[in-house]
């Protein structure tokens, strides 16, 4: 199943970025595989979680064979041969009944204990964990760090615990990082938390695991796990690569993919909002009957106050992205200028 998910993710990500060259941050959404059942384990939870998974799957397989095997055999062996054939009287057998009640009960307690141990550990974050505030909304994630930096990808240090304090702006989402073996609902009007500690440098994918609307399957983002020193450098530089400044249009493209792509297409097709194909300089008819030419000012005002000048025929559903930095908005403007 994980292999299929990873393949599908790769296909959709490649389709989305087929037109551009692959800078480091533009790699496809990926989840690394490890064997048949589970993706690569990249957090401290993986070992206990995977062993609980293996114990459960093997106990299930063994008991399936023990129960269904003889059941199928007896169904053939003792099938009624004629209309008049009568079953011989069968009495109960106390020893067998005690055994087949007691053994599965003990096995069930053991399975519960194995699962509960790692569940309890996953529920309680260590005190020294770095707290990141996560907000889910249709259809993207944002992360706010202790220093006030807001990102649309998640950056975490390897070997340091990270705690997410999560809430939703609209409907119920579910924050799922398969490689970390963590998944938690993100709910409007309620804070939920989860924590993890990454164990290897990697780039992996967050999926939304609760159906939340049209854009649910595109509610993806990346998790970057950096060595502590590299993490600290990035952290001090708003998570831009300190050694490789990003041109505005590339920055804008990243923001587009993270924030806008689930509602605004680049190829002329209609999703929730107007397409960005040929957006620059286009004349749009607004809900108040007036006309506007799309320029830098209109784009900026649509980002920070989307319902201010709404294009006719589209629902007023876009959230305000007022937390975006000036250079991110400039980047989006530069990117949209290129959409012919």
Give contact residues for ligand CUA (rule: CB under 6 A). Answer: 139, 173, 208, 210-212, 216, 219
Q: Given the structure tokens 């003889």, which residue do they identify?
A: 70
CA distance 10 to 28: 6
Closer to ligand CUA by Cβ: residue 176 or 280: 176
Q: 40: Cβ–Cβ under 8 A, 6 or more apart, which residues?
A: 31, 32, 33, 34, 179, 202, 204
Closer to ligand CUA by Cβ: residue 139 or 239: 139
| Minimum gap (Å) between residue 8 Cβ and ligand CUA | 15
Q: Which DSSP symbol is given to 24? A: G
Closer to ligand CUA by Cβ: residue 125 or 258: 258
CA atoms in the 13 A half-sphere facing the CB of 194: 19
Closer to ligand CUA by Cβ: residue 208 or 303: 208
Closer to ligand CUA by Cβ: residue 10 or 217: 217
| Minimum gap (Å) between residue 299 Cβ and ligand CUA | 26
Closer to ligand CUA by Cβ: residue 192 or 277: 192
Q: Which DSSP symbol is given to 89? A: P
Residue 293 in tokens: 């030419």
| Minimum gap (Å) between residue 173 Cβ and ligand CUA | 3
Cα–Cα distance list, 102 to 52, 71, 98 (Å): 22, 20, 6
| Minimum gap (Å) between residue 140 Cβ and ligand CUA | 9
Cα–Cα distance list, 92 to 2, 95, 149 (Å): 46, 9, 70
CA distance 19 to 34: 30
Closer to ligand CUA by Cβ: residue 139 or 231: 139
| Minimum gap (Å) between residue 142 Cβ and ligand CUA | 13
DSSP H helical segments within the chain, as ranges? 2-16, 46-77, 94-123, 228-236, 248-255, 296-304, 326-337
| Minimum gap (Å) between residue 138 Cβ and ligand CUA | 7
| Minimum gap (Å) between residue 174 Cβ and ligand CUA | 7
């Amino acid at each position: 199943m994980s292999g299929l998910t990873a393949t599908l993710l790769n296909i959709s990500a490649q389709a989305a970025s087929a037109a551009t060259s692959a800078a480091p941050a533009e790699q496809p959404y990926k989840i690394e595989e490890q064997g048949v059942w589970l993706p690569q384990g990249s957090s401290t939870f993986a070992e206990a979680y995977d062993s609980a998974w293996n114990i459960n799957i093997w106990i299930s397989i063994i008991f399936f064979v023990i129960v269904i095997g003889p059941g199928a055999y007896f169904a053939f062996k003792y099938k009624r041969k004629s209309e008049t054939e009568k079953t011989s009287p069968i009495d109960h057998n106390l020893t067998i009944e005690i055994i087949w009640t007691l053994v599965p009960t003990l096995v069930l307690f053991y399975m519960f204990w194995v699962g509960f141990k790692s569940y309890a550990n996953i529920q309680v974050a260590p005190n020294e964990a770095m707290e990141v505030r996560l907000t889910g909304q249709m259809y993207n994630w944002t992360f706010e760090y202790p220093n006030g930096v807001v990102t649309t990808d998640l950056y975490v240090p390897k070997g340091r615990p990270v705690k997410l304090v999560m809430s939703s702006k609209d409907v119920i989402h579910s924050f799922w990082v398969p490689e970390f073996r963590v998944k938690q609902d993100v709910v409007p009007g309620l804070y939920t938390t989860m924590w993890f500690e990454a164990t290897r440098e990697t780039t992996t994918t967050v999926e939304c695991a609760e159906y939340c609307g049209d854009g649910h399957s595109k509610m993806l983002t990346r998790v970057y796990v950096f060595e502590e020193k590299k993490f600290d450098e990035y952290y001090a530089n708003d998570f831009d690569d300190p050694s490789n400044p990003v041109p505005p249009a590339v920055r804008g493209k990243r923001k587009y993919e993270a924030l806008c792509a689930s509602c605004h297409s680049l190829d002329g097709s209609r999703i929730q909002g107007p397409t960005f194909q040929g957006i620059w300089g286009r004349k749009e008819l607004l809900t108040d009957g007036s006309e506007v030419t799309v320029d830098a000012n209109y784009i900026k005002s649509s980002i920070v106050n989307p319902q201010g000048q709404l294009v006719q025929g589209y629902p007023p559903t876009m959230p305000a992205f007022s937390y975006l930095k000036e250079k991110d908005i400039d980047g989006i403007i530069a990117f949209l200028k290129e959409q012919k």
